[in-house]
Structure 1
């Protein structure tokens, strides 16, 4: 059983939960940083933040499903942005993929990522 833990309500404006309590999970899935990378390893959406964000969530969904879970099992994310002012844009795209109570989350501003031109990367923890 998973349950969001939110002693306040202000985080709802930002689309995340303070914590998740997980009881009796069958498995824990720890997902490496996912970015806007095509199946052939090439960058998707050069210079287009929303295209990169959508591809990143598509890749995250693919990995979660391959591990036997889904966005419904997502309990935590860490998002790295090369421009933290895009956090609201990220939230808008995330809402297209993640419905229900949002995972616990952290957003970190960085000067660069592993693949030149990447504007974001998301690592995650999910349960199944």
Structure 2
């Protein structure tokens, strides 16, 4: 089994705290673990302050960048977890629309959505982590 720890330069640099992507290769499969993606650009600037739709869009964009950094795509995601700060039922439509744009294919990943009191940094409204699996 091989493990690769990756911090794509197009994503915020958190390498002092964690790796953005961890790839585990075993036999003919590789499992890709994606750290929680948020609405921060590569310069650690918040995108879409107070705007859930803009933050969701940026977080899903960052998720796709993380996937692409190891040759994966949304279709390879098998599990996704979405954390929404101070979740309200009306947030489901906003997040759901952005989710469907990011995952337009028929077979959607297993999914958990959680309302949380706070996220790691002030101003963040959403965080998305995922697991993907690919053949080697």
TM range (shorter): 0.7 to 0.9
Please show how residues 22-33 of structure 1 align to structure 2 within 5 Å: 26-33=29-36
- Whether 2:71 is the aligned partner of 1:68: answer yes
**Structure 1 residues 84 and 64 mapped into 2: Cα distance closer, same or farther (>3 Å)?**
farther
**Structure 1 residues 84 and 67 mapped into 2: Cα distance closer, same or farther (>3 Å)?**
farther
Distance 2:93 2:40 in 1: 22
Partner of 1:53: 56
Count of residue pairs brought into register by the alignment: 105
More strand per residue: 1 or 2? 2
The runs of at least 4 consecutive aligned structure 1 residues that moved more than 2 Å come to: none
TM-score by length of 2: 0.73
**Structure 1 residues 25 and 48 mapped into 2: Cα distance closer, same or farther (>3 Å)?**
farther
More helix per residue: 1 or 2? 1
Partner of 2:44: 41
Distance 1:62 1:117 in 2: 22
Bigger relative contact order, structure 1 or 2, given CA contacts below 8 A and separation 6+? 1
TM-score by length of 1: 0.78
**Structure 1 residues 57 and 25 mapped into 2: Cα distance closer, same or farther (>3 Å)?**
farther
Distance 2:104 2:131 in 1: 16
By how many angstroms is 1:25 displaced? 5.8
By how many angstroms is 1:113 displaced? 0.4
By how many angstroms is 1:68 displaced? 1.8
RMSD of aligned Cα (Å): 1.3
SS at match of 2:29: coil
| Structure 2 unpaired stretches of 5+ | 1-26
**Structure 1 residues 87 and 26 mapped into 2: Cα distance closer, same or farther (>3 Å)?**
same
By how many angstroms is 1:115 displaced? 1.4
By how many angstroms is 1:88 displaced? 2.2
